[in-house]
Structure 1
Amino acid sequence: MSDITVFEHPLNERIRTFLRLEHLFEKYDHFRIDETTWGTRAALEGLLDILAITSRSDIKSELAKELDRNANALGRVRDQPGVDPTMLDDVLAKLGKAQRSMIELHGQIGAGAREDDFMKAIAQRNSIPGGACSFDLPHYHHLLTKSSEARAQLLARWSTDLDPVKHAIDLILSLARSSSNARSVTAHQGFFQETLETGAPTQLIRVALNPELDCFPEISGHRNRFSIRFLTAKDTSRPTQTAADIAFKLTCCVF
């Protein structure tokens, strides 16, 4: 809903990494269609951040494991009451396609862009504040003078082998977010805590809040317990815990 603000907090390192990559893919997708040179710069910065995270050798295996775990979990509920077999088969087909795409992704994720000399130069200079300006990287400045169509083609070339990763992360997080129903709860004097069931580990906490309440949640936790403090702040001043009771929607995503 447009009048509700959702805050999320991961409860394991795998989902934490996937959420960061989702954020960076969203940044990249937003700026890649911006035809200005600053849009191209921002898109490349997002792409470089994606390459930095996916340089970890275990990212591909983590995605493959999570896709396989989701497929096995869904396969076990086929005969349970209330399960729509048509919808289930559709989701399993998407998981199977994502698994095949990951298998067909040979070598390191993003190898095409990572091994590109031009991208290496930008990545090296981009780590320095202001290091990617025109006199440091005249080749980059020259590229930015090209037409928006030419720049878009380059961005597409560098990101093509990242598409399977993006699709896999989108599918995994979508299944997690839709795995449980939201429930109405209240944080008394701005504080809420809950013990989690260890039999079905919670992966993600989602807090849906009316923005008119003018506060935000600070979530902390692990696989057994989590807590939420609702904070208020005037502009950029230091936040303080509210003394008011805060009604919100809570979703503990266990899939």
Structure 2
Amino acid sequence: MSLLPDVIAKNKRVSQLVLYEYPINERIRSLMRLEYLFKRLFAFISGTSPMHQHVALSLLFEIMDTCDRAEVRSGILQDIDKQKVNLESYRHHPNIDLNALDAAVADLSRVSAALMGKGRIGQAARENEWLMSLKNRFAVPGGTSQIDIPSYHAWQLSADENRQRAIKEWVEPFMPLFDGVSVVLKMLRESGSPIDASTQEGGVFQEMLGGKIYQMVRVWVSDERLIYPEISANKYVVWVRFSELDAQYKTQLITTPTVFKMSFCNV
């Protein structure tokens, strides 16, 4: 008896869905950028190599610049307060787990209280004069070489545990911001339910919003091909079309119908 069919079945690749997200307003765009920077920061901060830590520092400095705008913190606090009100509205509904509700409200209150602290976000790290002088050198191409800032070169030669401890101390003041960003985006993403969709002949999907207000569009597409969505939206309509990277990495617009999943999110 031939085992070939079984081998083929075992080796057959199961396609996965790749997620793309599109913010519909600038505030959510800023939060998603911060989330992106934090994820990269956490990926590099665990490394012991000075090269990993160099990238981690550059990401920390980007976070500093991104969160300097006052509306970042105030917008997060407003969203958290809004969600607390929404949760409290379920308190007298039947079949509600009050312990779980209380825990959720308490967690939101904890994140809000930590983010509401006095001073600028990450003030403790900003008060480190050497760190801030290093931040200025990062803005210059090649400006962190030993000829420009020998103290940084000496720091990179220090013990691994000392460098890791220092970076974690510098990142710690920004963790309330990360917690706030994570909570708001988690609530936003969970507010939408995926639906099946498809582009039409010509390669365009269009959805009229009918007066509904959304803050994020999420699109899932198969990873069987190197295709990606181009999403645009305003308060009236959402458009989605797909393009593909060919073998020469040139963009080709897909004009045949493409099936995908999507969700509209708002809190």
TM-score, length-scaled by structure 2? 0.88
Of the three residues 120, 126, 132, the one matched with 1:108 is: 120
What is the CA distance between 1:191 and its match in structure 2? 1.3
Q: 1:210 aligns with which of 213, 218, 222?
A: 222
Aligned pairs (5 A) from 1:13-162: 13-79=26-92, 84-103=97-116, 105-162=117-174
Which letter does structure 1 place at the counterpart of 2:148?
D
Q: Residues 100-130 of structure 1, C-alpha deviation per residue, up to 9 Å, x if partnerless?
A: 1122x21000112223211221221111111
Seen in structure 2, the aligned counterparts of structure 1 residues 25 and 236 have a Cα distance that, compared at 3 Å, is farther
Aligned-partner residue type, residue 41 of structure 2: Y
2:229 alignment partner AA = P
Please give the root-mean-square deviation of Cα atoms over the aligned residues, in Å.
2.0
Q: Secondary structure at the match of 2:255?
A: coil
Deviation at 1:135, TM superposition (A): 1.3
1:6 aligns with 2:32: no
Q: How far off its partner does 1:50 sit?
A: 0.3
Distance 1:89 1:191, change over 3 A: farther
Asked if the contact 1:197–1:224 (Cα under 8 Å) also holds between the matched residues in 2, the reply is yes
From the CA coordinates, give the structure whose radius of gyration is larger: 2
| CA spacing shift, 1:235–1:21, aligned 2, 3 Å | farther
| Deviations 1:18-58 (CA, angstroms, capped at 9, x unpaired) | 10000010111000001101100000011000000111223
Q: Which residue of 2 aligns with 1:172?
A: 184
Alpha-carbon contact 2:15-2:223 (below 8 Å) kept: no
Amino acid paired to 1:232: E
Segment drifting more, 84-93 vs 133-142: 84-93
- Corresponding residue of 1:186: 198
Distance 2:148 2:205 in 1: 51
| % same residue | 27
Counting matched residue pairs gives 253
Quick check: 2:19–2:220 contact (8 Å CA) kept in 1? Answer: yes
Structure 1 stretch displaced more, 140-149 or 78-87: 78-87
Give, as a single letter, the amino acid of the residue that structure 2 aligns with 1:160.
E
In structure 1, C-alpha distance between the alignment counterparts of 2:189 and 2:94, rounded to whole Å = 21
Gaps of 5+ in 1: none
Q: 3-state DSSP class of the match of 2:198?
A: strand
Give distance in 2, aligned partners of 1:164 and 1:173. 14
Deviates more, 1:217-226 or 1:4-13: 217-226
**Retained in 2: the 8 A contact 1:12–1:203?**
yes
The CA distance in 2 between the partners of 1:251 and 1:83, in whole Å, is 26
The reply on whether 1:198 has 2:216 as its aligned counterpart is no
2:89 maps to a residue whose letter is R
1:80, distance to aligned residue in structure 2 (A): 5.5
Residues of 1 paired with 2:142 and 2:120: CA distance?
A: 29
